[in-house]
Amino acid sequence: MLPETLRAQVQAWIAADPDERDRAELTALLADDGEQAAAELADRFGGRLQFGTAGLRGVVAAGPNRMNRAVVRATSAAVAQWIWRGGQDAAEAGVAIGCDARNRSADFAQEAALVLAGAGITVHLLPARQPTPLLAFAVRHLGAAAGIMITASHNPAADNGYKLYLGDGAQVIPPADQEIEAAIGQLGPVGSIRLAEPDSPLLRRLGDEIAAAYLDAICATASARPHAAWLRFVYTPLHGVAGSLALRAFGQAGFPEPDVVAAQAEPDPDFPTVAFPNPEVPGVLDLALAQARRSGADLVIANDPDGDRLAVAVPDADGGWRTLTGDQVGALLGSYLIGKFPAETQNGTDNRLVASTIVSGSLLGKITAEAGAQYVETLTGFKWIVRAGDARPDLRFLFGYEEALGYCVGTVVRDKDGISAALALLGLAAAARSAGSSLLDAYDTLERAHGVHLTDQITVPSTTPVYVMAGLRASTPAELGGEPVLSVSDLTGGTSQLPSADVLSYRLPDARVVIRPSGTEPKIKAYLEVVQHVLDGDLAAARQLAAGRMARLIPAVQAVLAGRDG
């Protein structure tokens, strides 16, 4: 039996909902007297999607706790209020809007555009089905006050999202996100929100000019050398929207045409060939790897559905294929870019800057130190990585990465960009091939010089992550995996280098464990790293020792997290 208060809440939402399909969906659930329908309505109306990490993300369906036109309308109205805080200049600079190919992405982009134009704000609407990095680029290229990207990145097919960029071209950070969340809570009925007409002069529908400018910018420093013509690689956009732009980038930069996975080449919001459209998940690259085995390719590269991440796989010495971790690719690209761009010394300081996060591997920091360049460690997320050098305009940002397959090459895009990262990776792979080596050989060289850096990750579902973190703070383990815990760092309250964050870091001898709640899902994440020095050049022995230590550390961390969910 549906409680009358909930029934009244649903009926009030139906009366204001601007979408006929969503009204029909809720009406059908109301008419169903079953327990499943009641539970579904209770969940949909038990709260509303919170404007948090970069914006919104959730299942596409009707109700305040889902992604739909009503939620997009309310969020856009709050964004409009926030834009107007910048005055007439901000309203005239406007907002760039883009969308991927997920279910209802184009509808949501149009809804956001009509709300903003209805509030007197200029809207720069990109063509539909474009990758996220293009929108991030467009914000600064157009001089917009903000940007909105309708995407759920690599989330399941049922999801969609609303990602906000500030005028600096980077993802929203506090206090702007908190101000927008507060404004959403104070809005009246969505039916009272004014919409512009589709032919409003404030709606500026863009063509290919933004894509052309983006390609010119990312290809300017990524032109292939003659030996790249012999590089053979397989490429897949995983049913996402990066394929067309990526192929144009490869060609414009002078790289050979890739062997594209045909079954995954075109955008498809149902992602029919993969169970989960995240290239980090085992099995997602199976079609690409099979194609690479048949063609004898040198490597496989893949973008995620919105094109902001890059996955890489290479043939190994045993005749199989190995997918590189984000930390491995990050170290390779960082080393390559530091070597590619010579130092420009200012006041006796090397001005090259690279950045990574507190949960990513530590190898890049050692590579950077050896080169004499500057290294900054940030909180998780590209909203922090790309701002690592903002307080130091004398530094040149070369590269930033996080272990979740996100890479930022230079400053053309102030966010992770799987297309420009692919160009850099292809440049490195071509250089290695021309020297008679491979990406694995290049990585071996890094680990011989700096030690084996083995990383892994543990994810534990948690309905109450705050209690898990409180329990960890109340009781610190003396050892983990047979190795003593030397110290614990708690980022609550922040440090002189980092803002406040719900993060605990355990330091062990040549190892570390970082634990934090997920910013987008009900999970606790633990990031593990083991460092093993290489003796007498015996890399295989060092890797075996590191693997043994990691094999003991993983269950120890799992045991610490087990049973703490309150």
Active site residues: 153
Give 119's contacts (C-beta < 8 A, 6+ positions apart): 77, 80, 81, 83, 84, 91, 194
CA angle 399, 402, 404 (to 5 degrees): 135
- Beta-bridge partner residues of 233: 299
Contact 66, 158 (CB under 8 A): no
| CA nearest neighbour of 407 among 359, 339, 341, 355 | 355
How many helices and strands (H and E) does the chain possess? 18, 24
d(CA 494, CA 503): 10
| CA nearest neighbour of 120 among 89, 150, 166, 162 | 89
Q: Please classify residue 565 by burial: count the beta carbons closer than 10 Å to its beta carbon, then call 0-12 exposed, 13-18 middle and 19+ buried.
A: middle
3-state secondary structure of 33: coil
| CA nearest neighbour of 414 among 133, 154, 212, 164 | 133
* Structure token pair of residue 371: 């080169």
Q: Are strands 146-150 and 159-166 parallel, antiparallel or unpaired?
A: antiparallel
Amino acid, res. 464: T
Q: Please classify residue 334 by burial: count the beta carbons closer than 10 Å to its beta carbon, then call 0-12 exposed, 13-18 middle and 19+ buried.
A: buried
Q: What are phi and psi of 39, to 5 degrees?
A: -65, -40
d(CA 422, CA 434): 18
> What are the CA-CA distances from residue 323 to residues 222, 286, 320 (Å)?
24, 11, 10
Neighbours of 263 (CB within 10 A): 14
d(CA 179, CA 197): 28
